[in-house]
Structures are given as structure tokens and as C-alpha cells.
Amino acid sequence: MQSQLSTIMRYFCCQLFLDPDTLRSSEEACYSHAPVPGDMSHVWVTAHVDPNIGKVTQCDDCAPGMCVLEDFGILLLFVLCLPAFLELFLVDMQSRLPQRENLKFLVASGKNATASYRALQQVYGEETMSRTQVQVWHKHFREGDGHTPVTDLHRSGRPRSAHVPEAVQAVRQSVHQDCRKTFKTVSSETGLSTGTVQRIIKKDLSLKKKAPKWIPHVLTDEQRRFRMKLCAQNLEKLADEPDLLEAIVTGDESSIWTFDPETKVHSMQWRSKGEPRPQIAMRGQTRCSTMLITFFDMEGMVLNEFVPPRETVTSEFYVEILKRLRERIRRKHPLKWKGGRDGSTDRDFIVHHDNASCHTSTITLAFLGEHNMDLLPHPPYSPDLAPNDYFLYPELKKILRGQNFRNIQSVQEAVMRELRKFTVDQFQAAFHELPRRWTKCLNSEGHYFEGGHFPGDEVNPNIDLNFSDSEGNESDSD
């Protein structure tokens, strides 16, 4: 279509501006014109452009002002040829009206569409309407009441846009009923097109479909306030004791499986554009696992043990772990065992663990009090504030995912091998991240902040840090 339009415009340019007597046939001629008027099969116009200056140059075989630059002259040609196009269109319309009147007479006389077309051909010859148009108008006259006009049929024009306030309100109500509906579902309920529904949801309603974020626990208001209270206390303590992070020894337990399938993100691979997607058979987590207990500080691993098979981590078992932890610190970390940082304890380290039942039982607390072991407070349901949960175990399990171990012993060997690969810089970075997470917890008003955009550099001054004792006491029991 574009090439035909270009040819027609070039033809009219030649008709309007060129004198056929001045046209010459040669390889260097700028214009060529068909010898027969109306024959446009050989009409062409070329431009002579000097590549050095980027302008139209004059050809020796052309009359002055005859050269036309195609790239920039196409619009000018269209404007100049527009009157000729309109004239042809009007002439064509005027020539078709008598044919339609005769066709109306033929229909009234009982002729079918084929006979009517042949009768028109005998009168008008090559100027006869196409067979398709004859059939359309024949049906139109046949179904009419005898007063059907021969002018063009009325057209409704461009359809009215469905993007109106009523449509926006209908889409809003449909989405609010169920936020999981798809564009196709909303379209079927409202009667609007899928494209209109998509524009209304994204532009007018400013909605965006987001996947839910998995959180460890649905926190109550009291639990959120208690998280903020302990984080504020820890930040105040860090401000008073700059070496607080160096004294913390954090610990926790976690299960390691003989086979833990890779997640979709971890199994992604770089492939070329034409290669098919990699395929992985679906497998679940095996039931065979071992329990790992770890304690570490800013210098690295302090203690790591595996719970014996068919053994449960009870309060008595955890107390034995704490005894071995004290002995390990005394022998391998003498700087943490030097008479106390403030003279009130017999060692220079602070134990940090979560609020598991074996960690907060009376037996465990009695052991810590008996040996004057400081304990860094940790809020309930807060793995995002525990270095083991946001650093060590995720990094370790990410390495072990997808590996199929034969038995528990092979799993334990792989764990010990990977633990030795962690560097001191990684442990220090994990502890330096802890104050930033305390700050993020305050700025998020106690909510889980991972995946959110909460600053961790300094506490928001608009946050209310006035905590009552009743909130803390009530949350301690959770």
C-alpha cells in the first residue's frame, strides 16, 4: 500500500510540474514518464543528493528546479497532490450514483445480483462497480422499502470510548470484591474490553498486583511495641559501650536435611536466546535431617555441634551446651575471659540467642544467673534480628541446596567443610548489620522490615519511643 501511494504521488508530481517534452530517457535522467497517460507502472522519481554536503544537487540532464528529494519531499508531494486526489474521489462518487440508481431499478424489476452486475457491465464497461459492491447494494435495495437512498450508507463512525466515570466505578467495585481477579475476569463481569480494564486499573486506580511477603508471625500491637522497646534499649547500650558487638556470642539451632530442593531463583541458569529452559524434576524435602547448633562472634566460629540422633534439645541439653561454650571461650578466646568489662562478672562476653523454650526456661535462666553470664535481650518472633537467622544458616543452606547426601554422616561432613570456608570479614559484616536492623525495626514501628524501604542509618525522630512497662511484661509471656 505504501509503495502504491508513493507511486501515485510521484505520478501526480510529474503531471503537475513536469513537461513531458523536457523528459529524456537516459541512465542519468532524473525523471521518467510513461508514454501512455494514466499508465503509472514505469513512473519513478529519484533524488540526487551530494553525500558531502547533504543537499540536493542539480543534474545536467534536468531542467532547473526539477530534482526532488524523496526523503524530505514526500510530505510536500502529498500536500500538492491532495486536491487532485479529492477531485478524483468526487468524480468517482458522482459516477457511481447513476449506477446505483440503475441497480435500484434492476432490483425492482426482479433481477438477481449476478444479472444486475452483467447488465451494468454492458452499459458502463470498465467503470462498473465491483461485483462485491453490486452484491452489497443489491441486498440493501432488496431489503429496503422502496425509498432507500442511493447515497452511501450511514456509518456510526468511531465507537464511543468506554473509558468513562461509570466504567471506572464498575471496575473499582469489581476489584474491591476480590483483589485476586485477573483482567479477563473483570472484563467479563463489567462488559468492558480487556485493554480498557487494564488502563483503568493501572492509570485511573493506580493499582499494581503484588505477591504477598511471607513473614514468620503475624505480630500483635504489643509484640511490635516490645520489639521496638528492646531495639531501642540495645541501641542505647551500644552508644554507651562501643565495644558491645565485639563481646556478643550468638547461638541458635537449625535442621539440615539430606536433600533440600533448590528454589526457583537458585536454580536459574544463563542460557542463550534459542536454548530451551532447563528442566528439574520436582522433589520434596527428605525426612532425614540432623540438628546443628552453632555459636559465633565477630572473630568466627566458637562452637558448633550436632545433636545426636533421636535426641531433643531440652533445657538440660542446652545447659550442657552452655557449659561447653564457656569452656571453649576460656581456652580459645582468653580475651573474652578476663574478669569482666565492668568488674561485676567473671568473663567478658554476652550470650545472645532467640526465645525458644529451651533458651528461656527456668533451668537455663538459673544457669546463666549462677555463672553471672550476661544475656542480650531478644524479642519474640524476631528471626530478622538474629545473626544466625539472617546470615549463617541462610548462606549455609543456600550452598547445600540441591545436593543429595547419602546419609547423616555425609551431611555433617559437608556442613563442617562449608563452615570452615566462612571468613572473618563475613562474621564482622553480620554483626555490623545488627545495629542497622535495630534501627530499621524502630523506623518500621516494629513490623518485619525485610523487603521494605526503611532506612537503617539513624532512628526517625518522629517515632514514639515512650514505652510502658505493662507492654513489656505482657509481651514477655508470648
Angle at 205 (CA atoms; ends 200, 211), nearest 5 degrees = 100
Dump pLDDT digits (tens) for 274-307. 888 877 776 666 778 899 999 999 999 999 999 9
Tens of pLDDT along 186-210?
999 988 889 999 999 999 999 988 8
Section 222-234 average pLDDT: 93
Measure the N-to-C terminal CA separation of the chain; round to a whole number of Å: 76
Q: What is the mean pLDDT of residues 5-14?
A: 50
Q: What is the pLDDT of residues 131-150, one digit of tens each?
A: 898 888 888 888 876 667 77
Average pLDDT over residues 315-331: 92
Q: Could you tell me the three cell numbers for 308?
A: 545426636
pTM of the model: 0.59
Which CATH entry fits the domain spanning 221-268+280-476: 3.30.420.10, 3.90.226.10, 3.40.190.10, 3.40.50.150? Answer: 3.30.420.10
- Tell me: pLDDT of 121 over 60: yes
pLDDT of 457 reads 67
Q: What are the residues facing 141 on neighbouring strands?
A: none
- Give the pLDDT of residue 76: 60
As a whole number, mean pLDDT of residues 38-42 equals 40
Topology of the domain comprising 86-143: Arc Repressor Mutant, subunit A (1.10.10)
pLDDT of residue 142: 83
